[in-house]
Amino acid sequence: MILAKIKRYLQQRGQVSLADIALHFDTPPDAVRGMLETLLRKGLIRRQLLDSACGSSCCKCDSATTELYEWADSGSSNAHVARPLPMPGMPDRQ
């Protein structure tokens, strides 16, 4: 099931944009967003909406690139979670 694969992907990556998930699973962002809602309702992930990916306020960035999802389940058995590199023009959040 793709939902289980998305869950594992988020567990492994820690934080991923909607665009990255859609590209990885070759699925339209709106379809992925619907599946992520299930994980959000269960409290397994958190959604973060950035103002823009480039740091400006022109609002021309694709919303899929500024919509981030983060693994939130503290009961995970993963001892190490890979953290993504910061987006160009964005401050490092760690």
**Structure tokens given for 81:** 């979670």
Cβ atoms 67, 49 nearer than 8 A: yes
Residue 54 lies in a domain: yes
For residue 65, the SS3 value is helix
Residue 41 lies in a domain: yes
Residue 55 lies in a domain: yes
Which of 21, 22, 27, 23 lies closest to 9, judged by CA?
21
Task: Give 93's contacts (C-beta < 8 A, 6+ positions apart).
Answer: 86
Assess whether pLDDT exceeds 80 at residue 16: yes
pLDDT in tens, 25-78: 999 999 999 999 999 999 999 998 765 555 566 665 556 667 899 998 765 444
Residue 49 lies in a domain: yes
pLDDT of residue 60: 59
pLDDT band at 13 (very low <50, low <70, confident <90, very high): very high
Residue 93 lies in a domain: no
CATH number, position 7: 1.10.10.10
pLDDT of residue 80: 40
Which of 13, 49, 18 lies closest to 35, judged by CA?
18
Range of the domain at 45: 2-71
Residue 76 lies in a domain: no
The number of folded domains in the chain is: 1
User: Any alpha helices (H) in the chain, and if so which ranges?
Assistant: 2-13, 18-25, 29-41, 63-66
Q: What is the mean pLDDT of residues 8-18?
A: 93
pLDDT of residue 88: 53
